[in-house]
Every structure is written in structure tokens, then in C-alpha cells.
């Protein structure tokens, strides 16, 4: 299982949010320095979210992301406001290894299927951010500000087996809260869709969360606040 440390970018700084609230950002300094720390610890990948882009509905910090990609050997998975083919092309040209598509994957999955066919399944990751709803898990969009109108199962059902390879699923209620990872949700997803490599996100607070997600079948886990708050070291997470 891959350990993927995360950076959220807001106004050029590395931050983390609490449950996706833009006014809850805690700043953690220069993103280039944060990435250097990740690389020195032995990470292979990092997950970067352009929060300003997610709010605006189009990538905002493209120049910064390109500079970060040029300065690091880490493979970058990046999203935030990706709504058009040109956004994907620009991020890939900037050195991003995998582009994360969220809201559009819910609203227009056929378009995202075309991107997967064009750029390759390894270059696109669909992000599905979920809250508990009347019929299970409901998908949120637009930086978690709006209801997507679909359940998680419906959103995944738009991507038949053999199309989507990577999916990042975040339990919004746990994101940045250090309350523990949603292992039951991951176990259900990996059982239902073994064709998809699922990444777990939201609530990681201890090394036990990493062990539990690995046992549940997650192929990767996104870790943010727990690292910044020094709940454990990245080296320890990688050792797990």
C-alpha cells in the first residue's frame, strides 16, 4: 500500500482544512519545504490539492504546481477545480503524474471516461467525497459545498469495470479531524469493485489506521494533518 502525504495549497501556502471548510485552514508554511521533507523521509508520491482552484472551478495555482513538480522527484497526484480537458493537459504538461477529477466525474462521467481513454487510466484519478445520507453515502461536489445528487454506488456505477483504475474516496466527516479512518467503507468498496485501486482519505490519526486500511484492501492512503501535527512520522508510516 502506498503512503501518500498530502499538501493543500491556499494562496501559495501549504495548509490543511477541517472537514473541507475553507475558513478552517491551518497554515504549515512553504510547500516546497514540505515536499522536500516528504522526499527526505522516503515518500514516492505526494497528493496536492489546489484549494483555490476547487473553490473557483478552475485550476488557480498552476504556476506554483509546475514549479513544485520541477523541484521534486516525487510523483505528484494533483487536483482542484479540474473541469475541462485543457486543465488535464496543462497539469500533465506541468509535470503532474496523475490528475484528480472530482466534481466533473459526478456531473459528466462520460467526459471523464473520454479523458481516461485519451490519457490512460494511470493518469486520471476520480475523487469521490462522501457524507452519510438516507440511502448510504451521498457524493458532494464543488469543494464539498454542494450535493452531487448521487449515491457513492451510483457515481462508481458510471465507470464500468475496465475503465476507471484509480479512485480516491474521502469521508468528509473525518477529513482533517484526526478521528480515525473509515475502514468499514473501504472494505465495502474493495469488495464491491475489486477492479478499482482505491485510495483512502480522511481521519487518519494513528499507525493503526494505516494497518487497518491496508487490511481492508486500500492500495493507497492519503495522510495530511496527522503528519503535520506529529501524531507519527512519515518514516514510521512508510515502515508500516
pLDDT band at 140 (very low <50, low <70, confident <90, very high): confident
Catalytic residue positions?
A: 8, 129
Q: pLDDT tens, 118-127? A: 999 999 999 9
How many Cβ atoms from other residues are within 10 Å of residue 88's Cβ?
22
Query: Which of 173, 195, 46 minimizes the C-alpha distance to 185?
Result: 173
pTM of this structure: 0.92
Query: Which of 51, 17, 220, 9 minimizes the C-alpha distance to 125?
Result: 220
Of 60-64, 171-175, 214-218, the poorest mean pLDDT is in 171-175
Strand ranges in the chain using DSSP code E only, listed in sequence order: 2-10, 13-18, 21-27, 45-50, 75-79, 98-101, 124-133, 136-141, 146-151, 166-171, 197-201, 220-223
Q: pLDDT tens, 204-238? A: 999 999 999 999 999 999 999 899 989 999 999 99
Amino acid at each position: 500500500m502506498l503512503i501518500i502525504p498530502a499538501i493543500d495549497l491556499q494562496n501559495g501556502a501549504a495548509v490543511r482544512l477541517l472537514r473541507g471548510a475553507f475558513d478552517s485552514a491551518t497554515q504549515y508554511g512553504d510547500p516546497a519545504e514540505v515536499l522536500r521533507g516528504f522526499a527526505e523521509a522516503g515518500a514516492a508520491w505526494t497528493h496536492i490539492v489546489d484549494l483555490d482552484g476547487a473553490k473557483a472551478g478552475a485550476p488557480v495555482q498552476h504556476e506554483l504546481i509546475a514549479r513544485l513538480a520541477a523541484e521534486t522527484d516525487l510523483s505528484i497526484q494533483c487536483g482542484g477545480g479540474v473541469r475541462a480537458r485543457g486543465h488535464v493537459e496543462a497539469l500533465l504538461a506541468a509535470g503532474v503524474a496523475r490528475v484528480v477529477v472530482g466534481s466533473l466525474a459526478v456531473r459528466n462521467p462520460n467526459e471523464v471516461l473520454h479523458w481516461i481513454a485519451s490519457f490512460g487510466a494511470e493518469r486520471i484519478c476520480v475523487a469521490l467525497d462522501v457524507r452519510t445520507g438516507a440511502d448510504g453515502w451521498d457524493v458532494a461536489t464543488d469543494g464539498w459545498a454542494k450535493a452531487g445528487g448521487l449515491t457513492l454506488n451510483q457515481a462508481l456505477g458510471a465507470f464500468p469495470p475496465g475503465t476507471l483504475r484509480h479512485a480516491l474516496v474521502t469521508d468528509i466527516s473525518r477529513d482533517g479531524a484526526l478521528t480515525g479512518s473509515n475502514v468499514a467503507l473501504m472494505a465495502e468498496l474493495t469488495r464491491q469493485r475489486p477492479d478499482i485501486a482505491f485510495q483512502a482519505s480522511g481521519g487518519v490519526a494513528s499507525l493503526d489506521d494505516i494497518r487497518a486500511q491496508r487490511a481492508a484492501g486500500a492500495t493507497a492512503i492519503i495522510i495530511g494533518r496527522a503528519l503535520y501535527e506529529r501524531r507519527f512520522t512519515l518514516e514510521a508510516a512508510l515502515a508500516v
